Each structure stands twice: as structure tokens, then as C-alpha cells.
Amino acid sequence: MEKLAAALGWPSTVKQLVFRPPNVPFLARLLLDRGASDSLDAPWPDVVLCGEARTSVIARDLKQRSGGRIKVVCLGRPAGDPAQFDLVLTTAQYRLPKAANVVELALPLVVEAPALQPDAGGDMPDLARPVTTVLVGGTAVPERLDGAAATSLARDLLAHQHKTGGTLLVVTSPRTGAEAGEVLARAIPSPHRVHLWRKGEDNPYRRFLALADEVVVTSDSVSMVADALAAGKKVSVYRLPRRATVKDAVVENLFARVYGEAPCPFWLKPAKWLFDAGLIEVRADRPRLFERLVREGRLGWFGAARAEKRFTAPDELDVILPRIQALF
């Protein structure tokens, strides 16, 4: 959102929102902690950029309060029917129905990694090459990263390093979880580096990315894959184990039936209403996006044939900016 705001070049303000649990987008207005969040009162802006479900509900509410003056642009997947928004900038894993106001991007917009400076190694001046940077996410249903999955990840990374030589630089994220992080830290020995994310501490994520000869990203995170590709690195995706709940299986089946036929059968109209209202949503299908990039030769699956060319994404801002400007 900040990259897009900067590219537009219009005066902008960041509003931080805090929500109480649980994460139920339909109830976002009730769960918004207004005392801990920034003020959302008039004067109204011309456009609101929001990301994902809960903030999209609040943005839609602001548009209503402004008498329809505000234009709402949602990045990712909004809550409910995309037709309720002026523009939706999405990616393939969300499987949004094609519509005039929906633009499917090749990848999320990212802030490119800074160029590597001569002293970027800091306390790691003599890293054995090649450097394999590992960006570790966490559980994002159906992908799962628990202690057992972290043990397998560490074993596979060390086997990969044994073949290639060099150094592993591993960095975790806010979603990794204490158990998985501790397993990685114990299992991957020096001279490799494992940095466990902690709130308020310096994060070497960008530095590790800049130092990399290749990057491995866990399959729960499209945004980290986009970061690695934008940095011009050779990238592979490590498949985390997947476990879908019964509820997920039912919703997936309903989604396929509701949106697999046009028009939606009459007997499935109640299910379509639930999707359109944002009361239920299908899980993101991240492998769908990764498989497309693999077919294009832009990245590879870890342990399989690696991509031989580096990703050169089209400048999709050239498509996005005119679409936003056209709203006015």
C-alpha cells in the first residue's frame, strides 16, 4: 500500500487500526478497538487504500459515511463480494471471479531490496559461497509449520548445503512460532546463521536477502517469494506439509460449485450469498500462483529442478496507476 501511495504521488496519511480477537471480518466494525486505533473521522480523503479483509470492511464503512465520495482500492482479497469496491488489486491465489473492477497482478507489489553495500556483511565478512538465504514463514492454513515440519526443513536445508557447500542464512518471521524457531536454531549449527524474529529487535531480513546467491522461501508466504524475486535472486519454494480441516474441505467444495458454473445454480444461491457477504471464504491457494511461476521458469520447487532465469516482472504500476486515476 505504501509503495502504491508513493507511486501515485498524492498527499497521503497512514492510519493504524487495531482489532480485538477473533479474526472475523464480518464483525470488523464491532471488533475495531477505536481507542487504540487512529481516528477515522472527517475530513474525508478522496481514496482509501486498504489491505485484506478486516480493513476492507472498515474502508467500505468509511465510503458509506462519506456519502459515497471516497473511492476504495483494496489490495489482496477483500471481505465479501469484490463488486462492493471501486478497484481490487489481487493475485492468483485468491481466485477472485473475473470482473471489470478486479485486476489480477502477477505478484503482490513489493519494496525492492536495497543494493548490496560493500560492508553489508557486517559481522559476516567471510561467508562461504554460495549463500543460501532461507525466509521462514509460519502456519497459514492449510500450510503448517510446527516442530515436526521445522525438523524436516532443517534436515533438508542441511542436505542441500552439503551438496552445494556454502552458508545458510535463515531468518524467521512473526508467524514462525517459538517451537519451530527453536527447532531451527538447535538443528542448524554454526557457521550457518539462524536469526529468530523478536519484536523490537533488529531484523536482518533485507540484509540476508541482499547477501544471497539463492533464496529458499517456505510455501506459506507469497509476499516473501515476491520480495526474493524482486531482489533478482534465484528462488525456490519449500513445500510445507498441508492439513485441511473438514470445514475447509466443505467450503472448498462449495466454492468450486458456486463459481464453477455460470450462472450459479438456484439451489446454491444461499451459499453464494454467504461468500458475497464475507461470512465464509475459501482458503488462499498459494500453490496455484507458485505453479504458474514454475511453468514460466521464474522459480522452482525446492529439491526439484531450479529455475535457470531470473524473474523480470512487468512494471504493473503502469497498469495500476491509470486504473486508479480513472476513478476520478
pLDDT of residue 118: 47
Residues 6+ apart with CB under 8 A from 155: 187
CB 282 within 8 A of CB 95: yes
For the structural domain made of 131-242+292-301, what CATH number should be given? Answer: 3.40.50.2000
Residue 16 CB burial class (10 angstroms; 0-12, 13-18, ≥19)? exposed
Predicted TM-score (pTM) of the model is 0.85
Domain extents for the chain?
2-106+317-325, 131-242+292-301, 246-277
Task: Count CB-CB contacts under 10 A for residue 23.
Answer: 11
Assigned C-alpha cell, 305: 529442478
Would you give per-residue pLDDT tens digits along the chain (328 residues)?
998 999 999 999 999 999 999 988 989 999 999 999 999 999 999 999 999 899 999 999 999 999 999 999 999 999 999 999 999 999 999 999 899 999 999 888 887 655 555 455 566 667 899 999 999 999 998 999 999 999 999 999 999 999 999 999 999 999 999 999 999 999 999 999 999 999 989 999 999 999 999 999 999 999 999 999 988 899 999 999 999 888 889 999 999 989 887 788 889 999 998 888 888 888 999 999 999 999 888 899 998 866 555 555 556 888 999 999 999 9
pLDDT of residue 92: 93
pLDDT of residue 36: 97
Residue 173 CB burial class (10 angstroms; 0-12, 13-18, ≥19)? buried
Helix (H) or strand (E) holding 270: helix 269-277
pLDDT of residue 304: 84
Q: Strand, helix or coil at 253?
A: helix
Q: Amino acid letter at 174?
A: P
